[in-house]
Structures are given as structure tokens and as C-alpha cells.
Amino acid sequence: MGKLWSLFFVFSAVIAVALCWFAPDWNWWFPGDGKAHSTLGGKIDDLFHLILIIVAVTFIGTQAALGYVLWRGATIKPEEKALFSHGSHSLEVIWTIVPSAVLLFIALYQLDVWAQFRIKGAIRDSHGKMVRPEPVAELTARQFEWRIRYPAKGKPLQPKPQPDDIYSVNELHIPSGRPVEVTLRTDDVQHAIFIPELRIKQDAVASLKIPVWFDALDNRDYEMLCAELCGWGHYKMKAKVVARSDEDFDAWKEQASAEQFDDGFRKPVEAK
Amino acid sequence: MMFRHSSNHRSVTTAPWQLVCGLALGIASGLAGCGTGPKAEFSYREATQKLIPVARKAIKDTLEDGFGTPHNLVAWERFPVAYGGAKASVVAAAEGVQPASKTISVSVEGDVSKLVSGASVLWLTGTRAGEKAAADTVDTYDTKTKTLTWSGSAEPAPGVGDVLIVGFGHALQKGRAVYMKNCMHCHGVSGDGNGSTAQFLNPRPRDYRLGVFKFTSTLSAEKVSRDDLHRVVKYGIPGTYMPSFLLLGEEETKSVVEYVRWLAMRGEFEKRTDDDLGDFTEDSIVDTVKKSKTAFDAAKVAYDATLKAGDKDAVKPDAPIKLTDARKSATEAFAKFQASDLDQAVEDTASFLAEAWTRADDEASRIAPTVPRVADDAASRERGRLLYMSDKTKCYTCHGLLGKGNGAATEDFWKKPGTEELYPRRGLHDAWGNPLQPRNLTLGQYRGGRRPVDVFRRLYAGIKGTPMPGFGKTALKDEEIWDIVNFVMSLQYQSPQPAKTNAGGHVVATDMPEAK
């Protein structure tokens, strides 16, 4: 019976590792096509993989040790004596220092990615230059939709609505290929913007205007959701990010502006 | 799904909508019993419930006949609803197979993908049209040879040129599915604006059953157009709980718009029929009895007085009408009415609604400005402001001097329409009896859309079901409406001018036009 259990635990570990190994091929891994479509997203994925490798090594090591101990216990001969050990100071020091070192390493190693996501847009770089990306839109979450305000073509986004601003709902248009800033707000309760394929997730908090910095590498549509259970209609907050080249983005702005300022007057068609 | 063809009704398909229970929910409420939700039912108006039993039954039967139940929709052909399905006509009957084969070659207009095995087949013309072919469905359809075989009776054989619809009612069923998933929990199964989440919402979800929708592009006497509903579903109504369903997709949006129109037609049909039967209510019977009792009492007093005076010839007044007798006579009167006039009343209502809803999509019903927007400059805004303050429009009485929606009218008690009774609350009310705040124009929130043409239409035709009147054609010229549009749309961007004060802090000038 003991042998069976030791094999069982070893096998579960083997199956877990094998599933993780093949998961990306079966599309059980990251959302969409499995790739990060933003610069920062790639770095976040790298961090994820780094942590996964550290955890995997630890997991495999501990599972192998567990399997060995179980197997040894199950196959121990009656005449063999078990070794009694009551603590080992040096062992304890080792298993305190090693994980602490690993955690400290991760904490330091990820700082840059975190800073890029949250801080670097608001500070000067080593040349004393602001690297704050261009604000393209103000994204207001409300129960249960996303309302978005853009400045007119060629103008900067103002904190307050301007007469020539352009509005859209549930479709966030951004220029692709360069970092942008989206000002995140909420009209009511807490919401969270989540663009899985860009690896962007940020809470929207009442009374705060939170800048979200990201870029989209490809000209395509990305799914956008609310990641904070915000009420009974939470599931309705389905939206998309439309990332296009600068020209297409400007063309969209022109078209949206023409639609928005439509006065409904059509010249009567001349009789032929 | 049923089909109503003039007076012939026939079943097409039935696909009851069932509430699918999620796994997590299933575990949580396992003990309470979960699986299918409560059976969806169309509710009836309060006015219907107040009718005497025979009249109530007549209305319910008529409604079920014409519209069915949520589980078994009836598509009443005369209403202008795109019920869906692919139309086809018989090109040739397949030859060589005897006795009559169930194979025909057809030419299809529309979506060939509807011609799948099991789809309903509805014969509109020819020998098979009518009651007999009730259960026909598509057996096979060969896209290459364009031959269709149906399952059902072989006789009578269809002739060349017969018209059939495959998958009739498909769009309405699809609309129902979309509606049940996305709209029902606020707007209710019957579209009465009383779904389970409605009680938490302010403003209340629209009750479609008056056939009235607020934000339309049509003239004030006209219904809402398909395009208007489509816009509302797509972009939502900012400032309310109606969210945007932009990602629903074109086909689903279209079908849910048809379903909402259909629910509105059903609701208004019920309301108008209720109005036709207004004499046959329990209240009016009680009222008759009461009146008769009062008349009798008065006559009795007079009679007793004359008796006392010694007049032997005084006529004894008739006994008052008993409640049971009054009920009986009302029931008899209704039976008479039902035998002679009810069908005509239903017919009139149906044709009135069909015409009104068809007209709504006409180009002629749509408000199009005759002049382009007047240049949005200071002069135009000033003209608009003077019009806003004028007695011609009286905008300020509701929307307030500064456009904040706090005009004097919001402090008054208003009469319920058609009665002398006052609403219990101060302020304006809409046609549904809900308290209504005049729009605060300084917020830049435009429920009916922020395009200048949207605001123009609000001013031209008013907002249906609300006290907001229309000024188009009568009170204001199109140019003047544009001036007001320019003024109103500028309000969001103006900080109210600080009133000029003198040294003592007293206001010396206000931002008001000179009195004339």
C-alpha cells in the first residue's frame, strides 16, 4: 500500500509538470493567441516565466524528495532502523536564507517592470526628460459600460470636456506601436480595466483619475473587460480596444467627428 | 412559434426558452432546486385585470391568439415585424417519381443557410397554403441542384410559382433569445419595464406597452423607427442604466429590435383593446349600482314625504339595481358586444397599429432639418438664449434660468393627465407616471444622442411621453431651433458668469434678458 501511495504522489507531480509543459500547445495558457501584444506585456510574461521556472525547480525537487522518502518508507526492511533527527540548526538557516534570497532577487528583478507600468510615465528619465506617454483618451467606467472621450484630431487631451471632443462607447481606439496614456475613471463603483492580450489590468477607483500606460504592438482589436465584480451587470461590460496605425487612428477620428457633429441636413437630390 | 395568417393560425415551431443554470450557482442553490427558471409568462395590464371576467377572458384569448406566450410565440402576419425566414418559390416539381414526391426545385431569395433539415416550411400560396400543411419541415436541401424535400404529407402537391417561407419566425425567436439574455431582467418578460432588477433603477426601465419611446428621430405623432431603437441598443442611453450593447453584433441587435417592436405592439394592442372595453369593468358596475342606490334613496325620501302628506297616488320608486343583476346585465351586454363588435374593434386596433408602425420607418416620418446647422457663434448662441428665455418656448420654466433643470415647474404640483387629481409629489411626471427631472443642460449628457441633429430633433418634436413639447414647424423656424441647439450645447462649457456685485456684495446685475 505504501508503495502505491509513493507512486501516486510522484505520478501526480509528473502529470502536473507534463500538463504545464504541453498547455501552451493546447492553448490552455495565456489568453488569445498566447502572445503578449505589448512591450511591457512581453516583460511581464518573462517575469511570469522566471517565477514559473523557480517554482518548477522547487516543485520538482520537493516532489522528488517526497517520492523518495515515501518509497524508502514503504520499502524499508524490518531490520533496518529509522534515523531519528530532532532539528538541525544549519538546515533551518539554509531553508530560511535560500528562499529569502530568491524572494529578494525576484523583488529587485521585477522593479523595472513595475516602474514602467506604474511610475516611469510620471518621472524624468536619466536625461532629465519626461517620458510620459501621450494621453489619448479618458476612459470612464460605469455600471455597465465604458464611455470614452478623446481630444479632437491633433489636439491634446484636456482634463475637462471640450466642445470638439470625440466620444465613443465600449470601443477604445488607440494608436498602435507607441506608448499611450489612458486616463481611467469611474462614474460610480469600483471597476477594473482588463485587456488580457496586452497584460493590462488596473482598478478604476471613484474620485481618482488613474493614468494607465501601455502600447499595442499590432493593428488589431483586443478584448477588454471589467475585472472587478461591479454589480449585477458586471458581465455586460464587454468592450474592445481598437489599435490602429496613426493614419487609421486619425482617419477614425475624422470619421467619428463627422458623425458626432452631424446636423442631419442633406442637400436634396436633384431631380434627373 | 406560431404563425397567424389573417384568421388561420398555425403552429410553426416551439422552442421554449429555458434558463440555463451555471455550475457554481447550481452548487450554491442545489438544495433550493435549480435547473430551469420560473416559467416565462406575459403579464397583463392592470386595466385588463379590472375588467369583468368575460371581458377579461376575451382580451386574454385575443392576445394569446395574436401573440402567443413567451414559450410559444405567435407571429401575427399583419404587424410590420420582420419575423425572419428565407422566402422561396417553386420553380419546378421534381419529375419521374410517382406517386407525388415531396421534392421540388426552388429559387431562394435571402439566406440559404436557413434551409437546414428541420426548419419549418410555411406555404404562403398555392394548394398547400393553409391549415393542412401545418407540420411541414425541411427534410433535405441540395444547394447544387436547389432541390428541397420536405417531411410531411405529400398531397396536395405544390404547383410551380407557389411561395413558401423556410424558417419563418426565425428572427423573432432569435430576438427572444437575445432579449431574454440581455434585456429581460430590467424590461421584464412582457416589456412592461418591471423586470427583477427594475426596482433598483432610477430612472425606471422603459415600459414598452404604451408603444411610446422617448428618443426618436420621427415626428411627434409617429412611433419610434427601427433605426432609433438600433441606435439606443448600440450606444445605450447615457445618464440612465441602459448600457451600450455595441458588441452584440449586427444580426442580434436587429433581431432584438424586432422583438422589442413586437412587444411594444402587443402591449399597445392590449392597452387599446382595454380602452375599447372601458365600460365593462368591475368598477363601473359598482359605480352604476351606487348611483342607482343614491337615486333610489332620494326618490324614497320624496315618496315617504308625499305619503305623509296624504297623497295616496304617489308612485313607489323602483328598487335599486342589485349588484348581481348589474353584473348579469353587464355580462349580457358584453356577450352582445362580443358577438357584434369585438372582432371589428380588434381589427381596427390591429390595422391602426400596423399602419402607425409601418409609417414610423417611412422617410417622411423622419425629422430632417431643412437648413444646415446655423454657425455656432456667439451671436447664434445669444439668439438661442433669448429664445430659451422667451415666452414662445418657455424653456426656462422647466430647465431653469441657468439650464440646470431646476425651473419653477419642478416646484409645482401637477395634475394627472385626464383627471383632476394631483400627483402626490412635486415636479413633472412622464406618461408612465414616474417623476421626471427636466434635463440639466450643463452636464453635457445627452440621453437621446449628442449629435446636433439629435438635439434638433428633441426640440423639433419634443420627447414622447414627457412634458417636453415640440416646437418644429409651428412655434419655431428651423434656424431658430438651431440657435437654441447652439445655446444649449454651449452650456456645458460655460462657467456661469459671476454676478457683478457692488461694494456691499449686493447683486447689481443679473444675467437676464430685458423684459419686454
Confidence band of B344 (pLDDT split at 50, 70, 90): very high
Q: At which of B167, B199, B215 does a domain end?
A: B167
Tens digit of each residue's pLDDT (9 = 90 or more) over B202-211: 899 999 999 9
B91 inside domain:
yes
Nearest one of B406, B401, B393 to B499, comparing CA atoms = B401
| Cβ atoms A138, A149 nearer than 8 A | yes
Ramachandran assignment for B134, one of left (phi > 0), alpha (psi -120 to 50 degrees), beta (any other):
alpha
Q: At which of B232, B249, B276 does a domain end?
A: B276
Question: Do B151 and B272 fall into the same domain?
Answer: no
Question: Do A74 and A49 fall into the same domain?
Answer: yes
Say what the pLDDT of residue A132 is.
84
Say what the pLDDT of residue B133 is.
52
- Partner-chain contact A265 B244, CB within 8 Å: no
Question: Do B111 and B180 fall into the same domain?
Answer: no
Q: How many angstroms away from the CA of B391 is the closest CA of chain A? A: 26
State CA B293 to chain mean position distance. Answer: 41
Question: Do A240 and A176 fall into the same domain?
Answer: yes
Question: Do B53 and B127 fall into the same domain?
Answer: no
Considering only the beta carbons, identify the residue of B182, B243, B451 that sits closest to A145.
B243
Question: Do B116 and B145 fall into the same domain?
Answer: yes
Q: How many angstroms away from the CA of A262 is the closest CA of chain B? A: 6
Question: Do B179 and B265 fall into the same domain?
Answer: yes
Residue with the three cell numbers 530532532: A86
DSSP conformational letter for B94 = P
| A-B C-beta contacts closer than 8 Å | 67
- Partner-chain contact A236 B241, CB within 8 Å: no
Question: Do A109 and A142 fall into the same domain?
Answer: no
Q: Write out chain B residues lying below 8 Å of A264, CB-based.
A: 367-369, 451-453, 456-457
Number of domains in chain B: 4
| Cβ atoms A199, A44 nearer than 8 A | yes
Task: Inform me whether the pLDDT recorded for B21 exceeds 50.
Answer: no
Task: Inform me whether the pLDDT recorded for B498 exceeds 70.
Answer: no
A266 inside domain:
no
Tens digit of each residue's pLDDT (9 = 90 or more) over A37-85: 999 999 999 999 999 999 999 999 999 999 999 999 888 888 888 888 8
Q: At which of B118, B135, B167 does a domain end?
A: B167
Contact A159/B at CB under 8 A? no
Question: Do B351 and B430 fall into the same domain?
Answer: no
- Partner-chain contact A236 B197, CB within 8 Å: no
Question: Do A106 and A161 fall into the same domain?
Answer: no
Nearest one of A118, A257, A252, A117 to A172, comparing CA atoms = A252
Question: Do A63 and A144 fall into the same domain?
Answer: no
What distance in Å separates the CA atoms of residue A239 and residue A148, rounded to the nearest whole number? 11
Residue range of the domain that includes A60: 2-78+87-118
Question: Do A33 and A147 fall into the same domain?
Answer: no
State CA B450 to chain mean position distance. Answer: 24
A146 inside domain:
yes
Question: Do B74 and B103 fall into the same domain?
Answer: no
A267 inside domain:
no
Give burial (CB, 10 Å; 0-12/13-18/19+) of B45. Answer: middle
Considering only the beta carbons, identify the residue of A171, A233, A262 that sits closest to B243.
A233
Say what the pLDDT of residue B37 is.
66
ipTM of the complex: 0.85
Question: Do B115 and B182 fall into the same domain?
Answer: no
Q: How many angstroms away from the CA of A166 is the closest CA of chain B? A: 10
A123 inside domain:
no
CB atoms within 10 A of CB B397: 15
A17 inside domain:
yes
| Cβ atoms B413, B422 nearer than 8 A | yes
B282 inside domain:
no
Question: Do B44 and B70 fall into the same domain?
Answer: yes
What distance in Å separates the CA atoms of residue B218 and residue A264, rounded to the nearest whole number? 13
Tens digit of each residue's pLDDT (9 = 90 or more) over B40-59: 889 999 989 999 999 999 99
The CATH number assigned to the domain holding A200 equals 2.60.40.420
Question: Do A163 and A253 fall into the same domain?
Answer: yes
Confidence band of B143 (pLDDT split at 50, 70, 90): confident
Nearest CA in chain B to A141: B243
Say what the pLDDT of residue B95 is.
56
Question: Do A172 and A213 fall into the same domain?
Answer: yes
B498 inside domain:
no
Query: What is the reported pTM?
Result: 0.84
Residue range of the domain that includes B339: 288-358
Question: Do B179 and B74 fall into the same domain?
Answer: yes
Question: Do B73 and B182 fall into the same domain?
Answer: yes
Q: Residue A229 corresponds to which cell in the numbers above? A: 465584480
B431 inside domain:
yes
B216 inside domain:
yes
Question: Do B67 and B201 fall into the same domain?
Answer: yes
Give the residue ranges of chain A where pLDDT is below 70: 270-272
What distance in Å separates the CA atoms of residue A54 and residue A103, rounded to the nearest whole number? 10
- Partner-chain contact A163 B493, CB within 8 Å: yes
Tens digit of each residue's pLDDT (9 = 90 or more) over B108-124: 877 777 777 777 788 77
Number of domains in chain A: 2
